[in-house]
Each structure stands twice: as structure tokens, then as C-alpha cells.
């Protein structure tokens, strides 16, 4: 009975931490802030069931959506750059600075953004070929 109460307390505290993380994620300005905010410590009593908790799942989904949203904004910025050389340079900066935070847990978003960025670059390169 005492153990059940203790586990409930730990679960409530963990879900509260997840709720705070969601707010931090929503206000994050870059991918590093999102990654840091989404790293919520799960106590041993909660670790085995954290994936079943609705607040944890909501935090993970919020982080994933925010990562993709920021990435798509960055790809849109690539479209607005006038020369292909500048766009290639900017993409290199994005990959080195911000997109490295997608490696691992958010690798599927990294691949998506890389595909979108290569389409933008392809369009810039082949639209500038004289016919």
C-alpha cells in the first residue's frame, strides 16, 4: 500500500515535469532548446511505465512536431536565398548547428528535412541553367 502510494506520487511528479517540458518546448526557438527541454528525468519507479503515460507521450509528440515545424521554416528560408552558393552554405550551417540535434531520436525528421532541402537546391541549380 505504501509502495503504491509512492509510485503514484512519483508518477504525478514525472507527469508534472512533462507538462513543464511541453511549455518549454512550445516556446523554444531552436532545436537544441527542444532537445534539452524534452529530456525529462524519469525516476526508477516510473521508468518502466513512462511510455504508457499520456503526458509523456504528449511531450514526445509536441517535441517532434516542433522540431519538424522549425525545420520546415528553415527549409523555406533556403528557398528565399537568391544564389545556390549561399543556399548550399546556409544548408551546411543548418546541418552543422541545428540539425545535428535531430540525429538519433529524430532521425526521420532529419531525413525529411534533408530531402526537402535537396529538392530546393536541385530546383535552384537546374532553374539557373540557360536553355
Query: What's the pLDDT score for residue 129?
Result: 59
pLDDT above 80 for 127: no
Q: Between these two residues, 5 and 112, which has the higher pLDDT value? A: 112
Write the pLDDT tens digit of every residue in 87-99: 999 999 999 999 9
Q: Tell me the CA distances in angstroms from 23 to 28, 33, 59, one per residue in order.
A: 9, 12, 9
CB of 92 closer than 8 Å to CB of 67: no
Q: Between these two residues, 87 and 128, which has the higher pLDDT value? A: 87
Give residue for cell 521554416: 73
Query: What's the pLDDT score for residue 130?
Result: 53
Count of domains forming the chain: 1
Write the pLDDT tens digit of every residue in 8-32: 888 999 999 999 999 999 999 999 9
**Which residue range(s) make up the domain with 121?**
2-127
pLDDT above 60 for 131: no
Query: What's the pLDDT score for residue 4?
Result: 85
C-alpha dihedral over 119, 125, 130, 131, to 10 degrees?
-30
Write the pLDDT tens digit of every residue in 48-57: 888 899 999 9
Query: What's the pLDDT score for residue 44?
Result: 86
Amino acid at each position: 500500500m505504501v509502495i503504491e502510494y509512492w509510485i503514484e506520487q512519483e508518477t504525478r511528479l514525472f507527469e508534472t515535469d512533462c507538462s513543464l517540458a511541453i511549455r518549454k518546448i512550445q516556446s523554444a526557438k531552436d532545436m537544441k532548446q527542444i532537445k534539452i527541454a524534452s529530456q525529462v528525468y524519469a525516476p526508477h519507479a516510473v521508468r518502466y511505465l513512462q511510455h504508457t503515460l499520456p503526458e509523456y507521450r504528449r511531450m514526445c509528440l509536441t517535441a517532434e512536431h516542433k522540431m519538424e515545424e522549425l525545420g520546415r521554416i528553415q527549409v523555406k528560408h533556403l528557398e528565399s536565398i537568391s544564389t545556390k552558393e549561399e543556399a548550399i552554405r546556409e544548408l551546411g550551417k543548418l546541418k552543422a548547428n541545428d540539425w545535428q540535434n535531430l540525429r538519433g531520436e529524430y532521425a526521420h525528421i532529419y531525413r525529411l528535412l534533408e530531402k526537402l532541402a535537396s529538392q530546393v537546391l536541385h530546383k535552384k541549380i537546374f532553374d539557373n541553367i540557360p536553355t
